[in-house]
Structure 1
Amino acid sequence: MKTLCVAVVVLSLISVCQPAPLTCEKLLKPVDKELEVTGTWYMIAVATESCLTTTIMNALFELSAEIHINATDAPKVYSTEYNIKLYQYCITVTENFFYEKSAIFDVDVNNAPHGDAELVLQSGCPDCIVLLGDSFLNTTILFSRRKTVTAAELKEFEAQVECLGWSKPWVLQTDHEYKNCMSLDEFDGDGVADDLPDKILKRLKTTYTMPLMCLATDVSEYWKSILDSLVELW
């Protein structure tokens, strides 16, 4: 894939490479037909508009997730069951959604779509879904019917994220054993609190540099924006 690289040397910023505009137009194009969404999907990677949010989650949590989607009697309304694993603890969440063309909506008690839409983007991966959500925490998520994807498929998702101007995605864990893990519902708050912080701190000892690097980049970009504004005024 050809890329257009623009080196910006201001306040010791590192050069950034992003896909060319025409490539981005294709990568961020919504699907032109409805996909078959029923079945089991594995969450492969997540990116957020905030670099700091993504890196903090990655630094703190070992997380994996799968979803089971089934059609309902209501037209275009599907039920979902999320299985989420945080270290050795699991939790299940259920909800319904409305899917039409390239848009996914939450539904109200009458199964009517409401709120902002999540867009289903095109992907070169034959059994993947890429969701772009527009909310208070903008996110892009890569799902696949496989537990892992190829390096090329992950690279395409990273390119989609770059086109949005976001930082590198968080690649989730591939441990999808949910039947034998401990449910968070089986423990009281104190029981879980005694265990999870230890695991989080242990992980943080080797991952703490990620959010710090992101924070440094954000600070650099902040000062760069101030400098650019001063240059324009001058």
Structure 2
Amino acid sequence: MMMEVVYVAVAALSLLSVGQSAPVTSCGTLIQPVVIQGRDQLLGKWIYIAESTTVPGSRLLTNLFGESAWAKNKAANESDAIDHYHVQKSFGRCYSVRSNLTLQNSTLYMEHPYSAAGTLLNTGCDDCLVLYSRMTLGKTVFSGLQLLSKRRGVSVAEKQEFLKQVECLNLPQPAFLDPEKGLCPDDSLSPESETTDLTSDMNDMMSTFSSRLGDLTSGLDTLIKLISK
């Protein structure tokens, strides 16, 4: 069961986004959806900075297991499709998950390893990425907000803006990763990759996980209460 929790912690980071520059003035501005002109602005390598999600125990699990993470988006053959490659470092080891994203009407959709839809939000950070997403696990819908950047770190002001967005959306306090501690190498094309590919495990595991989500949610809530005492 613990490995299932780790897999979901990895999966919770696997949907990407982009934001456009905007002044920081109010919640109305900060959570305003962004119109995506095309998938080109989503392509390339992005580094994960922070995430807030309503998935039970996600902040605790990210703090325990998530050292750093990055993702690379490549254009797929279909004009509205993106090949998404996500890599996360945990306990000094690297794990990857591959998925396909579809861009329709300024919304990113993902069907596997779980169903999710992401709406891009405004940000005053020129090279940052912000996504408000809704994820369906079993029969339960969770929401979350992610901050990504081309850089390994963001300024204090940029962090404060993200924290304000989290507050405006009434989400839990975010977990911050530390890319300065080192990122996994990009060995996606190497036949001797040291990165463990979890894609098949994720797809096989999610059907079982969905049916046991209720028990897992209850167990995580109990664990968090015990740890917080």
User: Normalising by the residue count of structure 1, what TM-score does the alignment of the two structures yield?
Assistant: 0.61
Q: 1:95 to 1:176 in 2, by over 3 A?
A: farther
Cα shift at 1:154: 1.0
Distance in 2 between residues matched to 1:149 and 1:125, nearest whole Å: 9
Correspondence 1:43 to 2:45: no
Q: 1:29 Cα deviation (Å)?
A: 0.5
Aligned length: 164
The question of whether the paired residues in 1 share the 8 Å contact of 2:144 and 2:171 is answered with no
| Deviation readout 1:103-141 (Å, 9 max, x if unpaired) | 101258xxxxx9552101111111111111112331111
Within the candidate set 44, 58, 61, 1:57 is matched to 61
Distance of 1:116 and 1:183 partners within structure 2: 25
**Alpha-carbon distance between aligned partners in 2 of 1:93 and 1:58, rounded to the nearest angstrom:** 16
Three-state SS of the structure 2 residue aligned to 1:25 is helix
Q: Check if 1:121 corresponds to 2:121.
A: yes
Aligned: 1:164 with 2:188: no
- Alignment partners' CA distance in 1, 2:151 and 2:105: 23
> Which of 11, 36, 39 in structure 2 is aligned with 1:33?
36
Matches within 5 A, 1:110-149: 116-135=116-135, 136-149=141-154
Structure 2 unaligned residues grouped into runs of 5+: 1-24, 136-140, 188-192, 198-223
In the aligned structure 1, how far is the partner of 2:64 from the partner of 2:116? Answer: 29
> How far did residue 164 of structure 1 move?
1.1
Equivalent positions of 1:74-85 (< 5 A) are 74-85=78-89
Q: What is the CA–CA distance in structure 2 between the aligned matches of 1:34 and 1:176, rounded to whole Å?
A: 33
Aligned to 1:73: 77
- % of aligned pairs identical? 26
CA distances 1:7-65 after superposition (whole Å, capped 9, x unpaired):
xxxxxxxxxxxxxxx81111110113336011100011000136x62432244224211
Which residue in 2 is equivalent to 1:195? none
Residues 62/77 of structure 1: CA separation in 2 closer, same or farther (3 Å cut): closer
Distance 1:95 1:55 in 2: 23
What is the SS of the residue equivalent to 1:26? helix
| Counterpart amino acid of residue 124 in structure 2 | G
- Equivalent of 1:23, from 11, 22, 26? 26
Q: In structure 2, do the counterparts of structure 1 residues 71 and 183 end up closer, same or farther at CA, with 3 Å as the change threshold?
A: closer
- Residue 134 of structure 1 aligns to a residue whose secondary structure is strand
Bigger radius of gyration among the two:
1
CA contact (8 A) 2:54 2:172 kept: yes
Alignment partners' CA distance in 1, 2:147 and 2:175: 10
Distance 2:196 2:33 in 1: 37
Q: CA RMSD in A?
A: 2.8
**Displacement, 1:101?**
4.6
The whole-number CA distance in structure 1 between the counterparts of 2:37 and 2:111 is 18
CA distance in 1, matches of 2:111, 2:134: 16
Residue type matched to 1:98 in 2?
T
User: Would you say the 8 A contact 1:31–1:101 is kept in 2?
Assistant: no
- Decide whether aligned partners of structure 1 residues 115 and 177 sit closer, same or farther in structure 2, where only a CA change above 3 A counts: closer
Q: Is the 8 A contact 1:44 1:143 kept in 2?
A: yes
Residue in 2 aligned with 1:178?
Answer: 184
The TM-score normalised by the length of structure 2 is 0.63
